[in-house]
């Protein structure tokens, strides 16, 4: 997602179904400060994990796949049923 982007309407709908809200969600790029102060970095794909570790190898122990060992495909643009 681009910096400043809101959650997709589909993601917002699914969040509401789980009594949660993404109304205030704003996408932002990962920063060194986020990596340093995060307890966990959860990623959707092995490529995401590799990209993070290429910049911050020290984050290896706290960076893991959401659905290890599988990749989670991005549902954006694929309709509500994919969420």
Convert the pLDDT of each residue in 32-78 to its tens digit. Answer: 999 999 999 999 999 999 999 999 999 999 999 999 888 888 877 88
**Model confidence, pTM:** 0.79
Q: What is the pLDDT of residue 68?
A: 84
Compute and round to an integer the Cα radius of gyration of the chain: 14
Cβ-Cβ contacts under 8 Å for 64 (sequence gap 6 or more): 40, 41, 42, 43, 49
The H-or-E segment that residue 50 falls in is helix 46-55
Coil, helix or strand at residue 30: coil
On the question of pLDDT at 82 being above 80, the answer is no
Query: Among candidates 82, 25, 73, which has minimal Cα distance to 47?
Result: 73
Report the alpha-carbon distance of residue 35 to residue 80 in Å, rounded: 31
């Amino acid at each position: 997602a681009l910096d400043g982007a809101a959650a997709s309407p589909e993601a917002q709908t699914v969040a509401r179904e789980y009594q949660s809200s993404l109304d205030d969600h704003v996408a932002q790029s990962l920063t060194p400060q986020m990596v340093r102060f995060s307890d966990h970095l959860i990623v959707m794909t092995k490529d995401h994990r590799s990209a993070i570790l290429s910049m911050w190898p020290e984050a290896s122990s706290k960076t893991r796949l959401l659905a290890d060992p599988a990749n989670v495909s991005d549902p954006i643009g694929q309709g509500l049923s994919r969420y």
